[in-house]
Amino acid sequence: IWKKPIGGGRASFAILDGRAFTIEQRRQQEVVAAYDVATGRELWTNAWAARFTQWMGGGEGPRATPAVADGHVFALGARGELRCLDAATGRLVWRTNILQDAGAKNLRWGMSGSPLVAGDAVIVLPGGPAGRSVAAYDRRTGKPLWTALDDKQAYVSPMQVTLLGVA
pLDDT tens digits, 2-25: 899 999 898 999 999 999 999 999
**Mean pLDDT computed over every residue of the chain:** 94
| pLDDT tens profile 129-158 | 999 999 999 999 999 999 999 988 888 899
Q: What is the pTM of this model?
A: 0.94
Q: Is the Cβ–Cβ distance between 73 and 23 less than 8 Å?
A: no
CA of 165: how far to CAs of 47, 117, 120, 162, in Å? 41, 20, 21, 6
Residue 41 has a pLDDT of: 97
- Those residues whose C-beta lies under 8 Å from the C-beta of residue 114, and which sit 6 or more positions away, are 64, 65, 66, 67, 76, 157
What pLDDT band is residue 58 in, cutting at 50, 70 and 90? low
CA distance 141 to 82: 12
Computed over its alpha carbons, how large is the radius of gyration of the chain? 16
